[in-house]
Amino acid sequence: MRISSLFLSIAVMIASNFSALRGEEKFWIFFTDKGQNHTLSVSKQRDLQKNFVSSRALERRRLRGMSLTIETDLPLEADYISKVELLGIKIHTISRWLNAISGSGSPDQILQVAQLPFVESVKRVKVWRYKNSVHSQPAPEAESGGPELLQRYGFSDFQIRFHNIHWLHDKGLTGKGISIAVFDTGFRRDHPALHHVQPRIIAEYDFIQMDSITSNQPGDRSNQDDHGTIVLSVIASYLPDTLIGPAYDAQFLLAKTEIEGEELHVEEDHWMMAAEWAERLGADIVSSSLSYSTFDEGEGDYSYQDMDGQTTIITRAAQELARRGVLVVSSAGNEGNTPWYYITAPADGFYTLGVGSVNSNNNLSAFSSRGPSYDGRLKPDIVALGENVFGVGSSKIIRANRGTSYSCPLVTGIAAQILEQFPRTDLITLLKVLRKSGDQADFPDNQKGYGKIDALRAWELAREAASALIGNQPAPPLPNPYYQDSGIIFFQVDLISPQRIHLQIFNILGQKVSDVVQDGESGRNLMTWNVRNSAGFPVAGGIYLYRIRAGSLNFTGKLTVF
């Protein structure tokens, strides 16, 4: 496959834009296919897949994931990588999911890479600026717990009861058996509230220095692991009468991905690598209290237009996690009172749960980033307490913190409690349950989304969903309406016994556009349509009819494509 003249012109434009710059630039390089691995038999591909995906991850995908091909798990073609390296490109990241590598080289070298027949496209890596918390301060009487606080939860009493988390604790739900991956600046567990976490760590990795030490080490700033430690403590702390998190019995995957106080080219790569690492090891939830918006001058900023659910590498990685049944909980950002104003990546993702912030009176925090996404979707999804959220940092002092960085882990803990009780809840249903538990679910907006999350209400909705399967039935397709280039459309089909599912799409004239067949299992199944016709071309905007058949089920509905 030869590169098109259009892409050559784009590549030349890229090179000319960099002609005034000195040194190397960093790019993501996307390949057209997986080379020889693409031609292997299905059985050989499955054998190869086992080297990259754990049995726990495969089981989670079966329970909660969306339609996937084995090819997305296969390694990249080694010959492609070698030929890119022969052109002088220094490789940094290899992504199976994106079938891409990131690497650095001169503008001339990048132009040569763009002309290789197996290269689909190149995209310049953006420089992320890590946004610290809005504010934090030591808690009064932190060491003693304070006589005015209730004995059970100590400093965390208000944040627990504000969201009815204590009701789920009373049901014995503490996140046990759920694997939570936390992507942040680093983690220290030497405070008594976090001592119990150590034996619950499945794995940890520093994607900055490429080792297994996620606490501070030589080369780190003194406060490098502070933010991540606070976030972890909001989810997982357990020190009765002092500090307790929602999901203190969960298991953890700790990924050190963010460089405190630096503006470098590698954070996006770190997040992508951490996503593939965590999914492979069986993560159920990824919690990302990281906010990305404006960047240094001349560094290739993202704009609000890029917050469309499909542009940034981090958002694309979050979407890949979702396809595999991993819930991604992301802070919406602290940009509400800045010129940026809007949500930040990856909270713009179609299946990312973006979390805004409210204060103790349930009023929206001024700093909380607003929606909608650039393509018009409602964001943030929900809000949680983001002011005076207590946690313990690397200094071992319990502090009151402000920012969506701390509303995010509260929601993560609630999600873990729900999955502990209802582990077969698929991702689409889980997102619906968490959103609909909000206190303005009937009138959501782009300030607070569906409103303040309520753990008890989420549990009730999840219980209703788990008991609703009384016969073969479909759920409405998502998204509907569909906007061009916004991913794929999902059709949820519930079956009481294994059945072959037949999905057909027709245009308004009754002409068949697409025909998909899938072997369904008892329980929930997800069918997908890539919004292309049988020849592989994108369909035109308009009204379409869909028909789903499975056993006695024969259902017809409408969907709109813009």
What are 285-329's pLDDT values in tens digits? 999 998 665 554 555 567 899 999 988 889 999 999 999 999 999
Average pLDDT in the 150-170 region? 91
- Separation CA 258–CA 130 (nearest Å): 7
Residues 473-561, CATH architecture: Sandwich (2.60)
- The domains of the chain are located at 5-124, 158-466, 473-561
Please write the tens of the pLDDT for every residue from 458-496. Answer: 999 999 988 765 567 777 788 888 877 667 888 888 887
- At 9, the pLDDT band (50, 70, 90 cuts) reads very low
Q: Are 331 and 408 in contact (CB under 8 A)?
A: yes
Which residues have CB under 8 Å from 17's CB, separation 6+? none
Coil, helix or strand at residue 181: strand
- At 4, the pLDDT band (50, 70, 90 cuts) reads very low
**pLDDT given for residue 71 in this prediction:** 86
Give, as one character, the DSSP assignment of residue 456. H
Please write the tens of the pLDDT for every residue from 78-100. Answer: 999 999 999 999 999 999 999 99
Of residues 317 and 265, which shows the higher confidence score? 317
**pLDDT given for residue 486 in this prediction:** 65
- Burial code of 75-84, b = ≥16 C-beta within 10 A, e = fewer? bbbeebbebb
Give the chain's mean pLDDT: 87
Sheet-wide strand order for 489-495 = 473-474, 489-495, 523-529
- At 148, the pLDDT band (50, 70, 90 cuts) reads very low
Sign of CA dihedral 265, 270, 271, 275: positive
* Residue of 32, 237, 179, 199 whose CA lies nearest to 114: 32
Give, as one character, the DSSP assignment of residue 65. -
- Separation CA 293–CA 304 (nearest Å): 9
DSSP β-bridge partners for residue 519: 500
DSSP string covering 378-444, please? Answer: ----EEEE-SSEEEE-TTS-EEEEESHHHHHHHHHHHHHHHHHH-TT--HHHHHHHHHHTSTTTTS-
DSSP β-bridge partners for residue 400: 137, 390
How many Å separate Cα 284 from the centre of its chain? 11
* Token representation of residue 40: 């292997």
- Separation CA 403–CA 239 (nearest Å): 23
Coil, helix or strand at residue 62: helix
- Separation CA 385–CA 141 (nearest Å): 22
**pLDDT given for residue 5 in this prediction:** 32
- At 103, the pLDDT band (50, 70, 90 cuts) reads very high
- At 252, the pLDDT band (50, 70, 90 cuts) reads very high
- Separation CA 53–CA 74 (nearest Å): 10
DSSP string covering 285-338, please? Answer: EEEE---B----TTS----GGGTTTTSSHHHHHHHHHHHTTPEEEEE--S-TTS
Q: Sort strands 327-331 and 201-206 into parallel, antiparallel or unpaired.
A: unpaired
283: exposed, middle or buried (Cβ count in 10 Å: 0-12, 13-18, 19+):
buried
**pLDDT given for residue 301 in this prediction:** 67
- Residue 252 phi, psi dihedral angles, 5° rounding: -135, 145
For residue 372, is the peptide bond before it cis, meaning its omega torsion is within 30 degrees of 0? yes
* Residue of 23, 182, 185, 31 whose CA lies nearest to 94: 31
pTM of the model: 0.83
CA atoms within 13 A on the CB side of 421: 26
- Separation CA 355–CA 332 (nearest Å): 5
The answer on pLDDT for 115 being more than 60 is: yes
Q: Do domains 158-466 and 473-561 have the same CATH topology?
A: no
Query: Is 158-466 a domain of CATH 3.40.50.2030?
Result: no
Q: Which helix (H) or strand (E) holds 239?
A: strand 238-239
The answer on pLDDT for 64 being more than 80 is: yes
- At 70, the pLDDT band (50, 70, 90 cuts) reads confident
